[in-house]
Amino acid sequence: MKTLKLTALTLLLLSGTLILSAENQMPVIAAFQGEHHASFYGYSMTSLDFNHDGIDDLAVCSFAYGFLYGESSSRGKVYIYLGEPGFSSTTPASITLEGDYTGSIGRRILGVFNVGDISGDGFDDLCIYVEDYLSPNYSFEKLMFYYGGASGLEVYDHEIPMYGDGYTSGTVYPLGDVNGDGYDDMGISYRHTPTHTNSLSIIWGGSLEEQIIYNGEINHTSSFLVYGIGDINNDGYDDFTTTFGTTQDDSTHNLVQLYYGNAEGNFDNPVTILCYQYIVFRGSNPLGDINGDGYDDFMGYATSNGIYIWLGGQEIDFTVPEFLLDPPWCGFFAQRSLEHGDFNGDGYEDIAGPRNSRGFAVWLGKKNVNGTADLIVGTPGGHENYGRILVTGDFNADGYDDIAVSAPHENDPWPHGNYNGYVWVHAGNPQLEDTTVATDDPAIPSISDNLVVKLSPNPITRADNTLNIELQPKAPSEHEQIAVEIYNIKGQSVHKEVYQAQMGARTYQVPASTLANGIYLCRVTSGKQQATGKFCVIK
């Protein structure tokens, strides 16, 4: 039966768009495009709350902006679309950051990254990866950091030069708070091109000092990366993996190792989760808590068989994954684009992964999560390289995370054409449901049997006074107590109250006047049941 289902899935994928349920859809709420042909608009993209209003913003990079075939060189440009209720195709790029390279000297913008909260103010910060040409024959790369805030967002706050001529970086990954000091950290990788020597480092948030994790690895590929995967053992320290790979048939060069975060910054004894001779797609990704057990889950790596997923916990068997994601879509850009978010507002983190020129897939989180896609959206209008990169965030402030997908370039962009590069934003919504329980997990209760929380209004203003917390569709018994707790974005409890439950649907109210602008989690506990919802407070 499983073989027949997979065969049918494959045939449908080859034919174009596949939506696994007539009710499961993520409609497009916004579509943007680059300013000129071959600008590579959307080749790099990220999401973060840049202006600190509690709503996710979308940052899109055109690394070839300014390029005209035979006339001018690319200098790069970043467009930042601030999230807002009613976010749509008419939402302007409120902030733009542009390079000034003239073909001999100046600055080229190559990429944009969310590096987490490295400044310790409770909000994510933006990193621009640039290349500075001091003369026609000399350039060096560096990272420029823009700390979010209510004003002055066009001016960078800090920069980190790379090692100098002959070194390249280009990969910057948020790691979370690895040493538990209240600042998020980030991982970077270096290559010394003449010697093919690779190094992996952590840049510690706050001080922005560098600690080398691994130095001197020699190979001829770019597959040497460091990835944050969340707090998989729930000890208060975020964890990460490193990957190495070459084209050689050498098992020691297809290596994925896991490092547990700790206060001392001691990374002498990593756990090897892959040491393999054959072709694999090395790259790990955080998935959040997809099964609602309080532990972060993660992707370890991928092969042509599927994407290998481990659920977090105190005792993890790294030799065997919990399940594989099908189809095995995890992105084209160094496996950066397997992302997570709560797309249907049920309190479980969901997974989204793109496939270059094929579209993207969504796997919904739940208590007994499985690896079969619940929604597959195909390429709109035949655009080439649709799914090159994917990011998630609640851009329209409705309480449901959305998915932004790019198609940055055509396969043969020069010298002619009119392909500007495109980005589409697909809206999360409460109608998204698991389509695979009846097939794969007949013993699993439906989501309607679990505790589900609905928060309103969302977003909420301080003038609204109270946040309404509705338990639906199943209310607890009259003998169970209801615990409601509010957490800020740093995981700190800012409000807790216990109620005596009653039969039937119930709505509880929490005062919002004391909450600052920002993103919050509301966790409701009743007996052994628990549900979490996200909301934001705005002005």
DSSP state of 116: -
* Poorest-pLDDT segment among 14-28, 305-319, 489-503: 14-28
Of 467, 476, 449, whose CA–CA distance to 521 is shortest? 467
Q: What is the largest CA-CA distance in the chain?
A: 76
Q: Using CA atoms, how far apart are residues 215 and 227, in angstroms rounded to an integer?
A: 16
In terms of Cβ atoms closer than 10 Å to its own Cβ (0-12, 13-18, 19+), residue 401 is buried
Instruction: Examine the pLDDT at 100 and tell me if it is beyond 50.
Output: yes
Average pLDDT over residues 112-116: 93
Whole-model pTM above 0.85?
no
- At residue 105, the pLDDT reads 93
SS3 213: strand
For 116-156, the pLDDT digits (tens) are 999 988 888 999 999 999 888 888 888 999 998 777 788 88
Collect all residues with Cβ–Cβ distance below 8 Å to 184 and sequence separation of at least 6.
Answer: 115, 116, 117, 118, 124, 174, 175, 176, 177, 205
Instruction: Examine the pLDDT at 17 and tell me if it is beyond 50.
Output: no
Instruction: Examine the pLDDT at 327 and tell me if it is beyond 70.
Output: yes
For 451-480, the pLDDT digits (tens) are 677 788 877 876 777 888 887 645 455 556
Residue with tokens 């290998």: 308
> What is the distance in angstroms between the CA of the first residue and the CA of the last residue of the chain?
54
User: Residue 60: which H helix or E strand, with range?
Assistant: strand 57-62
* Poorest-pLDDT segment among 110-114, 174-178, 283-287, 490-494: 490-494
Q: Using CA atoms, how far apart are residues 437 and 440, in angstroms rounded to an integer?
A: 5
The 3-state secondary structure of 417-435 reads CCCCCEEEEECCCCCCCCC
Of 301, 442, 306, whose CA–CA distance to 9 is shortest? 306
Task: Return the number of other C-beta atoms located less than 10 Å from residue 523's C-beta.
Answer: 18
Instruction: Give bridge partners of residue 355 from the DSSP assignment.
Output: 359
Which structure tokens are listed for 486? 């509010």
